[in-house]
Amino acid sequence: MTYQDIHELLPFRANGTLEGADLDAVDAALAEDAGLRADLAALSAIRDTMQAEEVASPGEFGLARLMRDVEADARVSTPAPAAANDNVVPLMRLRIWQVAAAVVLAVGLGFNLPQFGPGTAPMDSAESEPAGFTLASGGADADFTVIFAPDATEIEIRGLLLDAGLEIVSGPSALGIYGLGLLDADSTDTAFAALSASAIVEDVQ
Amino acid sequence: MSADHKFLIEQIAQGDKQALAALYRALERPVYKFIVSRLNDPHEANDILHEVFMDVWRSAGRFEGRSKVQTWIFGIAYRKSIDAMRKRGRMDLTDETPDMADDGPDQETCLAAGQEAEHVRHCLETLKDDHRSAITLAFYQDMTYGEIAEVSGVPEGTIKTRIFHAKKLLMRCLSGRVERGVA
């Protein structure tokens, strides 16, 4: 083993991870070379200093953030049942696209329709609804109407709708009211309970 | 400890969030310390740490157990740090070492300098990333050169050479600061 080899291994003598022949060779060199021993003492001091340095890591805040995103990740990536036919779009993927399309459509309508304002032809057609309460998509067959919390994210809304078996069928209105339709007509109670229990839903009817 | 980590990874692969929380609590601090030593930006290091453990959550099922869990996770952190530095345009991709004569002062001076955390921190920051990374894994984490090679994705000989040069540069920097009386 050369002098260079010994010097290359010296930091690992300082951190205590050398074993076997490497350790024997380095220790033999140390026994004969005072300069090498001083070098090792310096490396050990540097290591001790580095190990003693404290850093303020994210800790429990980081863990809370991780758990929140893991929950969201788990909701989005819940495996769908295997499709019986390759030509059939898996139900979960269909729901995601239904929800995504409904959100895009609703946002587009919500942005455009108020521009017509009271007295114009499109708003006049909603005669049975008081001004300001008309659903933007024209009052489609909604099983529930909800108002989401202002800080609810698209991912949170999507996760809730997927969990509750719902899709957006209308909205948002000028007051932020969404109409939701059941994907499975027999799950009314379950869906209502999920909406009622959700922290991102301010009101459900 | 290593067996505990492996058990936790197996549980995480089954979707056990509590196992993920336990592994996070066990390794969050050293992994963060390693990332922040490379990026020197606590906020960015925070985000990278988060991404590392999201990757652990998503890919625990693909962990084959051929290395220690800690080595695997530090490897993820190493690669994500490189990506972050590339995005900043701060990555030094060469593995060249500047020529330098070994004309530093005596070792006692170095030893004295080594006891000053501020000097060590400063001198670590003057090292190239691959040198700093290797010395950090050796001295912060007490990894073997084989483990450091695995984390960094390079041969063991490369790691020994990097640490050899990092050590010389570090000693030179520390000696210079002590000689100049830098506070």
Give a yes or no: residue B133 inside a domain: yes
Establish if B67 belongs to a structural domain. Answer: yes
Question: Which range of residues forms the domain containing residue B20?
Answer: 2-88
- Cβ contact A10:A43 at 8 Å: yes
| One domain, residues B132 and B160 | yes
Which residue among A14, A42, A50 sits closest to B111, beta carbon to beta carbon?
A: A42
Interface touch A62/B108, C-beta < 8 Å: no
CB pair distance less than 8 Å for B28 and A63: yes
In a domain, B122, yes or no: yes
Spell out which residues of chain A touch residue B144, defining contact as CB-CB under 8 Å.
Answer: 12, 17
**Domain check: are B112 and B34 in the same one?**
no
How far is the C-alpha of B108 from the C-alpha of B126, rounded, in Å?
Answer: 22
The partner residue sitting opposite B138, judged by closest CB among A15, A53, A66, is A15
* Same domain membership, residue B120 and residue B75: no
Q: Are residues B76 and B144 in the same domain?
A: no
In a domain, B97, yes or no: no
Which residues of chain A make contact with B48, given a CB cutoff of 8 A? none
Q: Which residue of A has its CA nearest to B146?
A: A17
* Residues B81, B113 within the same domain: no
Residues B36 and B83 both lie in one domain: yes
By DSSP bridging, strand A201-204 and strand A144-148 are: antiparallel
Tell me the Ramachandran region of residue A59: left when phi exceeds 0, alpha when psi lies from -120 to 50, beta otherwise.
left
> Would you call the peptide bond into A130 cis, given omega within 30 degrees of 0 as the criterion?
no
Mean pLDDT of A179-205: 85
**Among B36, B55, B88, which residue terminates a domain?**
B88
Q: What's B21's domain CATH number?
A: 1.10.1740.10
Chain A residues with CB under 8 Å of B121 CB are 53
Note whether residue B168 is domain-resident: yes
Same domain, B83 and B142: no
Give the count of domains, chain B.
2
Give yes or no for a contact between A47 and B136, defined as CB atoms under 8 angstroms apart: no
Partner-chain contact A38 B170, CB within 8 Å: no
Residue A135 to residue A171: CA distance in whole angstroms: 5
For residue range A18-53, list pLDDT tens digits in order.
999 999 999 999 999 999 999 999 899 899 988 888
Residue B115, domain member (yes or no): yes
Contacts of A62 in chain B (CB under 8 A): 24, 28, 32, 46, 49-50
pLDDT tens per residue, range A101-140:
555 555 555 544 444 444 444 444 444 444 444 444 444 5
Confidence of residue B177 (pLDDT cuts 50, 70, 90): confident
Q: Are residues B83 and B139 in the same domain?
A: no
Of A11, A55, A73, nearest to B32 by CB-CB distance is: A55
Of B20, B114, B138, the CB nearest to A70: B20
Mean pLDDT of B108-132: 75
Same domain, residue pair B67 and B121: no
- The predicted pLDDT at position A176 comes to 72
Across the interface, whether the CB atoms of A38 and B54 are under 8 A apart is answered: no
Which of A49, A57, A69 minimises the CB distance to B117? A49
Q: What CATH number did the domain enclosing B146 receive?
A: 1.10.10.10
Q: pTM (2 decimals)?
A: 0.60
Strands A144-148 and A166-170: unpaired
Are B77 and B15 part of one and the same domain? yes
The token pair that represents B47 in the structure block: 């985000």
Nearest to A108 by CA among A16, A170, A187, A33: A170
pLDDT at position A144 is: 87
Residues B41 and B69 in one domain: yes
Same domain, B122 and B172: yes
Structural domain contains residue B145: yes
- Looking at residue A56, the DSSP 8-state letter turns out to be -
In a 3-state reduction of DSSP, which class is residue B58? helix
Residue B99 lies in a domain: no
Contact: A38, B28; criterion CB under 8 Å: no
Contacts of B16 (CB under 8 A, 6+ apart): none
Contacts made by residues B25-30, CB under 8 angstroms, sequence distance 24+: B25/A63, B27/B70, B27/B73, B28/A57, B28/A58, B28/A59, B28/A62, B28/A63, B28/B53, B29/A55, B29/A57, B30/B70, B30/B140, B30/B141
B111, B122, B171: which to substitute to probe chain A, counting the most A Cβ within 10 Å? B111
Identify the burial level of A78 via C-beta atoms within 10 angstroms of its C-beta, where 0-12 means exposed, 13-18 middle and 19 or more buried.
exposed
Contact B33 A9 (CB under 8 A): no
